[in-house]
Chain A
Amino acid sequence: MTFNSLYFIFIFLPLTVFLVWIVPQKAKKTVLVLISFLFYAWGNPRNLLFLLGSILFNYMTGIQMGMLREQGREKTLKRVLTAAAAADILLLCLFKYTAAGLPVGISFYTFSVLSYLFDIMQEAAEPQRNLLNFALYVSFFPKITSGPIAQYRDMEKQISKIRISQPQLFRGLQLFLVGLAKKVLLADQLGAAFSMVTAQSRMSVLSAWLGMALYSLQLYYDFSGYSDMAIGLAGIFGFEIKPNFNYPYLSKSVSEFWRRWHISLGAWFRQYVYIPLGGNRVSDSRLFMNLLIVWTLTGIWHGSGLNFIVWGLWHGMFVILERFVIKDRFDRVPRIFRILMTDLIAFFGWVFFFSPSFSAAAGYIGQMFGAGGMGIIDRAGIYYLVQYAVLLIAALLGSVKVIRWLITRLFYRNSLRLGESALNMAAFIGTIIMLICITAGLISNTYQSFLYFQF
């Protein structure tokens, strides 16, 4: 089940919230874990077995690591950690590289359990003795399928005692709505636009660039919307998870992009790969290697194809360039150009991301430079541009903070000279319109009218 399903929004979520709120404090955690299991098993109960297995295995590993530490057997501790982490990663790879049907969210929850083991190793957290707490950490339903990959050190306190509060509930609901709006009103529409534009057998330069822009925006709204929903949901149940996106398309460099895009993944690699490898306090050649390793792994984490590795290295290449060659040389270049340059690099990178294979990506890039033989601008390109102009502009403005800035200016900084009650009324009406549009969008996604009989 996904958060943007009608059943989730109108049945599963309200019932879950109701249940967790009314049961006594002692039972809340158990209820939340059981609901998380149900959520995860939804649609494919087999997957739950893998999850349960992973929870038990890593729970016991943690306990064992704690014992070894008490006994001061650091060497054995390291060996146990290596073996357990290797087993977790091996299982993940096994699923990724064979056609065995990847269990939902396994990339995310594997990284969660690894974070737990590494945190024990780095002495950033204690081994969790309570199995229920650990099960909640791994399976907590808002984050299990698509993250954010919350690090164990940040969750350790929160899972030991569930504290539900009304302000958090309200903030969570608001964030959930924002995320849902991003997903339904923008990402889904952008996705449909992208498939239409790229369904052309041969594309003009205009169409190919339009397709790239549509996908780049779709991916941002899809993922950041889903992250917002996840963080909002976590808040409803009293959990604080750090933001996963921070206007990445406003980044002035690729390194900055990765501190603003899928923040939890970048942080994970920094915390558990980059820093253990020595961070930036190593020789240049070693640093170069470290960066290369991190970016290759980042690519591999996203998918098993060569195109994902190329995509990871594409970003890695610019990070390395920025580190060794560019340094602060561009600091005097106006901000806007640096942002545009970074976005161009990021957008270009997504071509490897959305293409089914490396050669398909190469073919697409060819069309971006005229290999489609349809010229620079053609009728079809103009047609799609006109079709989606409003959507595209709205999405672009939203992604570079302009819409947020406008709302703040107009409503909160009182440029409209609205009184408090008028502002509240505007919020009231605006929210109702949003809810209606979202519901209409969700239902339309399932609409399929047949010309002939379907039984």
Chain B
Amino acid sequence: MNEKRKALREKMLRENVMIIQALLIMVFVVIFALINIIVPDRLYSQEENRALMQHPSASGRDLADGSYFSDLETSYSDQFVLRDKWVMLQANLARLTGRTELNDVFIGKKKYLMAKPVVPDETRTAEITDAINAFRAAHEKLNTQVMLVPDAANILKDKLPKYTPLHDQVADLTAFSQKLDPEITWLDALSPLQAHGSEEIFYHTDHHWTSAGAKYVFEYNAHDMGISSVLRDYDRYVVSDEFEGTLAAKTGLHRTKDAIEVYTPLGTDVEYYVSYPDTNEKSTSMFHSEALDQKDQYTVFFGGNHPLVEIHTTADTTRSLLVFKDSYANSFLQFLYPYYKNIVLIDPRYYYDNAEPLISTHGITDVMILYSADTLFEDTSLADCLNAMRY
């Protein structure tokens, strides 16, 4: 009898729970469905750095091939209320269950986020080294230099999660440098970064190096770059202390904020102005303070990536520099400008012209290829850009 009563009670309890769950589901769904209707749609996601899908309009063709319906689904998830907050919640839940890697980003010690190194593809790397060597062969008079910056994970190994199987990018860099024509100057970014591994040489929340990291690498390599009297005193300004970079966005983890510093060399009266042919703008500073009001504050350097940037200085020298680069170079240039008459920056990812004429118009004497290893190993545009210059 007692058993029977117990069973009856259990049945009743289960029924109660079922009703509670069913009602909650309905309430939850209806509430969020309504909120999603009320809350206005967003055009762009700062966190994801992309345009969000808008509510599609039904055209005959889109209906017929079904793309209208898939767009409808995509726009619904893109426009879901508090989208970024949900992602943040999910990231933190994952971390709670012991995950130390999210979306190809390691969640390191001391609140460091570090991108997973790119594993180079051999044929692609060969294309790049071939293109660089061919460029050098066609431009023997130019002093050609190559610098690849290793990523944070390979430098700050002690801050990686325990047991992390880390792809050895140092070996990739060595292999890469050995494939280059011996006449090309290999600039070593690895040693100075390793030497200063305990300092703030990489951002905690972003995949770039800091100005300090760039400074150490510059000072270490200045001699090989043919710069004799290096200015080692700077005015240092902290222009932001609330930078949350790409890695924070990629993981959805916002645990800390970074400071951004800019440097201006002391003991020189060299002045410069920067011109941006793509927007026809000119500026007397490479620092763009308006970028600090935006999400990606790293764009304080040159306002982000441009196909072509020219820096003209009052330096008393005949040397001019052409740089093929990714965004790593943007914070490197603050150390370079006093030593060149003209500096031309080309970002091959956005630059589609033949760069050859720039060499004579700007009296180029030196060429530098400056990339983060992660970008270069995934890149196809540099080889195309260099190859185009031979014709």
Which residues of A are in contact with B by a Cβ distance under 8 Å? 1, 5-7, 9-11, 13-14, 41-46, 169-171, 173-174, 176-177, 189, 196, 200, 378-380, 382-383, 386-391, 408, 411-413, 420, 423-424, 427-428, 431-432, 435-437, 439-444, 446-455
A88 to B189, CA, bound (A): 66
A205 to chain B, nearest CB (A): 15
B341 within 8 A of A: no
Residues of chain B with a CB closer than 8 A to A43's CB: 66, 69-70
What's the nearest-Cβ distance from chain A to residue B384, in Å? 17
Closest Cβ of chain A to B251, distance in Å, is: 8
Most chain B CB atoms below 10 A, which of A169, A383, A386, A443: A443
Residue in A closest to B165 when the chains form the complex, CB atoms: A380
What per-residue 1/0 map shows which CB atoms of B81-97 lie under 8 Å from chain A?
00100110111011001
Q: Contact at A436–B13, with CB atoms within 8 Å?
A: no
B contact residues, total (Cβ < 8 Å): 64
Q: Which residues of A contact B168 (CB under 8 A)?
A: none
Q: Which of B42-66 touch A at CB < 8 Å?
A: 47-51, 63-66
Query: Do residues B24 and A428 form an inter-chain contact, with CB atoms below 8 A?
Result: yes
Given contacts A6-B76, A443-B86, 6 further A-B contacts (CB under 8 A): A189-B94, A200-B165, A379-B163, A386-B98, A413-B10, A436-B89
CB distance from B280 to the nearest CB of A (A): 20
Q: Report if B205 contacts A (CB, 8 A).
A: no
Min CB gap B303→A, angstroms: 13
B80 interfacial contact with A, CB 8 Å: yes
Contact present for A10 and B76 (CB under 8 Å) = yes
Which of B83, B90, B305 is the most central at the interface, judged by chain A CB atoms within 10 Å of its CB? B90
Does B266 count as interface, using CB distance less than 8 angstroms? no
B191 at the interface (CB under 8 A from A): no
Nearest to B50 among chain A residues (CB) is A454
Name which of B47, B80, B165 has the most chain A CB atoms within 10 A of its CB. Answer: B165
Inter-chain contacts of A174 with B (CB < 8 A) = 18, 21-22, 25
Establish whether residues B90 and A441, one from each chain, have CB atoms under 8 Å apart when the complex forms.
yes
In the bound complex, do residue A10 and residue B33 qualify as a contact, i.e. CB atoms below 8 Å apart?
yes
* Residue picked from A169, A447, A448, most chain B C-beta under 10 Å: A447
Taking the closest CB of chain A, its distance from the CB of B126, in whole angstroms, is: 19
- Interchain CB contact (< 8 A) of A447 among B25, B87, B94, B101: B87
**B35 CB to nearest A CB, Å:** 10
Q: Of B36, B77, B165, which is within 8 A of A383 by CB? A: B165
> B14 on the interface (CB 8 Å rule)?
yes
- Known contacts A387-B100, A435-B24, A441-B90; A14 and B51 CB within 8 A of each other: no
A sample of 14 inter-chain contacts (CB < 8 A) reads A7-B73, A46-B66, A169-B22, A171-B22, A173-B26, A383-B163, A387-B98, A387-B100, A420-B16, A424-B16, A428-B24, A450-B48, A451-B207, A454-B50
How many angstroms between the C-alpha atoms of A46 and B13 in the bound complex? 48
- List, in ascending order, chain A residues with CB within 8 A of B99's CB: 387-388
Partner among A44, A439, A446, A449 whose Cβ is within 8 Å of the Cβ of B249: A449
Given A14-B30, A387-B99, A440-B93, A420:B13 Cβ within 8 A: yes
| Set of chain B residues within 8 Å of A427, measured between Cβ atoms | 16-17, 20-21
Q: Would you give the shortest CB distance from A447 to chain B, in whole angstroms?
A: 5
Closest-by-CB residue of B relative to A43 is B66
Which residues in A have their C-beta under 8 angstroms from that of B165?
200, 378-380, 383
A13 contacts which chain B residues (CB < 8 A)? 29
Nearest A residue to B51, CB-CB: A455
A444 contacts B87, C-beta separation under 8 Å: yes
Contact between B163 and A382, CB atoms less than 8 A apart: yes
The residue that A177 contacts in the complex, of B6, B21, B70, B305, with Cβ under 8 A, is B21
The answer to whether B246 has its CB under 8 Å from any CB of chain A is: yes
Compute how far the CA of A41 lies from the CA of B70 in the bound complex, rounded to whole angstroms: 11
Q: How many angstroms from the CA of A45 to the CA of B19 in the assembled complex?
A: 38
A1–B21 contact, CB under 8 A?
no
Q: Nearest-CB distance from B376 to chain A (Å)?
A: 14
Give the docked Cα–Cα distance between A411 and B161 (Å).
38
Nearest Cβ on chain B to A141's Cβ, whole angstroms: 14
Please determine whether B49 and A450 come into contact, CB atoms closer than 8 angstroms.
Answer: yes
- Bound state CA distance, A441 and B18, in angstroms? 23
Q: Tell me whether B22 and A6 are in contact (CB under 8 A).
A: no
Q: Which residue of B lies closest to A428 (CB)?
A: B20
When chains A and B are docked, how far (Å) is the Cα of A442 from the Cα of B29?
A: 14
Q: Which residues of A are found within 8 Å of B64, using beta-carbon distances?
A: 45
Ranked nearest first, the 6 interchain pairs of A and B with the lowest CB-CB distance are: A380-B165, A170-B22, A454-B50, A383-B163, A444-B90, A390-B97
B residues less than 8 Å from A171 (CB atoms): 18, 22
Chain A residues with CB under 8 Å of B129's CB are: none
The CA-CA distance from A174 to B50 in the complex, in Å, is: 37
Q: Does B250 contact A (CB under 8 A)?
A: yes
> Does A390 lie within 8 Å of B98, measured CB to CB?
yes
Cβ-neighbour of B36 out of A10, A170, A454 (below 8 A)? A10
Q: Is the beta-carbon distance between A391 and B246 smaller than 8 angstroms?
A: no
Contact with A along B1-12 (1 / 0, CB 8 A): 000001000100
Question: A451–B246 contact, CB under 8 A?
Answer: yes
**With an 8 A cutoff between CB atoms, is B110 at the interface?**
no
Say yes or no: is B188 at the interface (Cβ < 8 Å to chain A). Answer: no
Contacts of A412 in B (CB 8 A): 10, 13-14
A224 nearest CB across to chain B (Å):
19
Candidates A11, A41, A378, A424; contact of B66 at CB < 8 Å: A41
- Closest partner residue, chain A, to B49 (CB atom): A450
Inter-chain contact B73/A6, CB cutoff 8 Å:
yes
B residues within 8 A CB of A383?
161-165
CB of A174 to closest CB in B, whole Å: 5
| Nearest A-chain residue to B207, judged by Cβ | A451
With A11-B33, A170-B22, A440-B86 as contacts: A423 and B93 at CB distance below 8 Å:
no
Which residues of B have CB within 8 Å of A391? 97
Contacting pair B32 A10 (CB below 8 A):
yes
Shortest B274–chain A CB gap in Å is 21
**A44 & B66 in contact (Cβ 8 Å cutoff):** yes
The contact of B73 among A5, A408, A455, by CB within 8 Å, is: A5
Query: Mask for B132-175, Cβ within 8 A of A = 1, else 0?
Result: 00000000000000000000000000000111110000000000
Cβ contact of B49, chosen from A382, A424, A428, A452, cutoff 8 A: A452
Whether a CB of chain A sits under 8 angstroms from the CB of B190 is no
Cα distance, A378 to B163, chains bound together (Å): 9
Q: Which residue in B16, B20, B98, B246 is a CB contact (below 8 Å) of A449?
A: B246
Q: Can you list, as one digit per residue, whether each of B332-351 has a CB less than 8 Å from chain A (1) or not (0)? A: 00000000000000000100
- A443 contacts B77, CB within 8 Å? yes
CB closest chain-B residue, reference A15: B33
CB-defined contacts of A388 to chain B, threshold 8 Å = 98-99
A176 contacts across to B, CB distance below 8 A: 25
A355-B86 Cα distance, complex, nearest whole Å = 34
B residues less than 8 Å from A386 (CB atoms)? 98, 100, 162-163
Q: How far is the CB of A63 from chain B (nearest CB, A)?
A: 32
Nearest-neighbor residue (CB-CB) of B13 within chain A = A412
Whole-angstrom CA separation of A193 from B161 in the bound complex: 17
* Residues of chain B from 317 to 369 with CB closer than 8 A to chain A in the complex: 349
> Cα distance A6–B86 when bound, in Å?
13
Is the Cβ of B73 less than 8 Å from the Cβ of A424? no
Q: With A10-B36, A450-B49, A455-B51 given, is the CB distance from A170 to B19 under 8 Å?
A: yes
**List of A residues within 8 angstroms of B249 by Cβ:** 449
Assess whether B72 is interfacial by the CB under 8 Å rule. yes
Give the complex CA separation of A439 and B26 in angstroms: 14
Report the nearest B residue to A189, measured CB to CB. Answer: B94
Task: Determine whether the beta carbon of B69 is less than 8 Å from that of A431.
Answer: no
Contact between A443 and B90 (Cβ–Cβ < 8 Å)?
yes
Q: How far is the CB of B159 from chain A (nearest CB, A)?
A: 15
